[in-house]
A = this chain, B = another copy of it.
């Protein structure tokens, strides 16, 4: 029996192998993805993002438990903001699987930035396809920060929950951080702390003053205390409400098709990059070229144009 057969039968070890294969971009990994892709399409992708220390991991665990209780299979991807230089998660994330069922209805994987430009968003997206075809009803994606890559990752989700804490600062700061535009739902976690009411109120006011578009989703602000699992049920309900709203309005399908278009273009871009680097390797003296430019005997723009002419017949 092949790994893929065992994967389709729900073998968790086969799942791990398929993910590693995709993560490490082994030979023909895209063919493998193409095959599993056709069995996918049922999983709901929920993204949680926000500043470090907002308690996203705890909330993800709460949401996972809530969905498991609804008899749903849940897969988690935690995208670790570790720098591209260390190449791995610093904190022992395996700890986080403690207390969850080991019968294949729950799976956790953390992923760290690995240097390759654009690689992390693409890899995360590919792993969601694997999760989906494995049969997870819910995929929870957790990211930190508001950089472009984090936005790319969160844009692959059907629902985006932005998690803040009372310490997150006033709403101008929030808007500056670019979180306002990506949130479908706001969650103010650690809501038992001072200043919680204030930030909840400020966020609601800021959301109220935005231009109202008819029949648009009204972004809710949910206070929670993840560590005591308080009000997280409300968060689940709001997520489900949002999904219903999106499906009824046709936005769910439209959004997924837009994502698909981006995905195809990204895969193409990646393939082209691979081809270029390969062809560049064939050139005799790239080092000499660099030295010349460094001494201002040339410039990178002209050199790139010349190389472009050479690599594209």
Chain A residues near B (Cβ < 8 Å): 30-31, 33-35, 37-38, 40-41, 52-53, 80-86, 90-91, 113, 117-118, 120, 144-152, 169, 172-173, 175-182, 253, 256-257, 260-261, 263-265, 267-269, 271-273, 275-277, 280, 286, 289-291, 293-294, 296, 298-305, 307-308, 311-313
In the complex, the answer to whether A151 meets B294 with C-beta atoms within 8 Å is no
In the complex, the answer to whether A53 meets B90 with C-beta atoms within 8 Å is no
Please report the C-alpha to C-alpha distance between residue A301 and residue B298 in the assembled complex, in whole angstroms.
39
Please report the C-alpha to C-alpha distance between residue A44 and residue B118 in the assembled complex, in whole angstroms.
28
Q: Which residues of B contact A313 (CB under 8 A)?
A: 313
Not counting A83-B146, A261-B286, a sample of 17 additional A-B residue pairs whose C-beta atoms are within 8 angstroms of each other reads: A34-B299, A34-B302, A52-B173, A52-B177, A81-B176, A82-B176, A83-B180, A84-B178, A118-B118, A144-B177, A147-B148, A260-B294, A261-B290, A265-B276, A265-B277, A268-B308, A272-B276
In the complex, the answer to whether B178 meets A113 with C-beta atoms within 8 Å is yes
Cβ 8 A contact of A307, one of B175, B177, B268, B277: B268
Q: Which residue of B lies closest to A180 (CB)?
A: B83
* Integer count of this chain's copies in the complex: 2
In the complex, the answer to whether A263 meets B300 with C-beta atoms within 8 Å is yes
Cβ 8 A contact of A149, one of B86, B148, B302: B148
